[in-house]
Amino acid sequence: MGAKELTSDSLNEQQVLMLRLLKKPLPAADFAQIRQLAVKLLSRQLDETVEDWEDKQNITKQSYERLSKEHFRSTSRKH
């Protein structure tokens, strides 16, 4: 990443605060743990978003089972 990409104009306040927090390099194990925590948080947020969408669309486990048994391939067209 070039210096231009890391200007405070291109980063939000949270990103700048995280960069300041991590200014000093961490031991590899500590950094790996922070990354794992971030991935868990983002994964949980994604799960919640998908569950909300499924609720709004009235999608159930049976919907997925039904879709898994259908095929969506189009018929081939020979010219």
The predicted-structure confidence for 28-69, as pLDDT tens digits, reads as follows 999 999 999 999 999 999 999 999 999 999 999 999 999 888
Is residue 3 assigned to a domain?
no
Is residue 8 assigned to a domain?
no
Separation of alpha carbons 17 and 11, rounded Å: 10
* pTM of the complete model: 0.63
Is residue 9 assigned to a domain?
no
**The pair of three-digit structure tokens given for residue 1, joined into one six-digit string:** 């990443």
pLDDT band with cut points at 50, 70 and 90 for residue 78: low
Is residue 39 assigned to a domain?
yes
- Could you list the residue range(s) of the whole structural domain that residue 39 is in? 26-70
Q: At residue 27, does pLDDT exceed 90?
A: yes
Angle at 8 between CA 12 and CA 15, to 5 degrees: 35
Instruction: Tell me how far CA of residue 22 lies from CA of 11, 27, 39, 48, in angstroms.
Output: 15, 11, 17, 28
The structural domain count of the chain equals 1
Is residue 14 assigned to a domain?
no
Give me the pLDDT at residue 73, please. 73
Q: At residue 8, does pLDDT exceed 70?
A: no
Is residue 12 assigned to a domain?
no
Is residue 77 assigned to a domain?
no
Is residue 15 assigned to a domain?
no
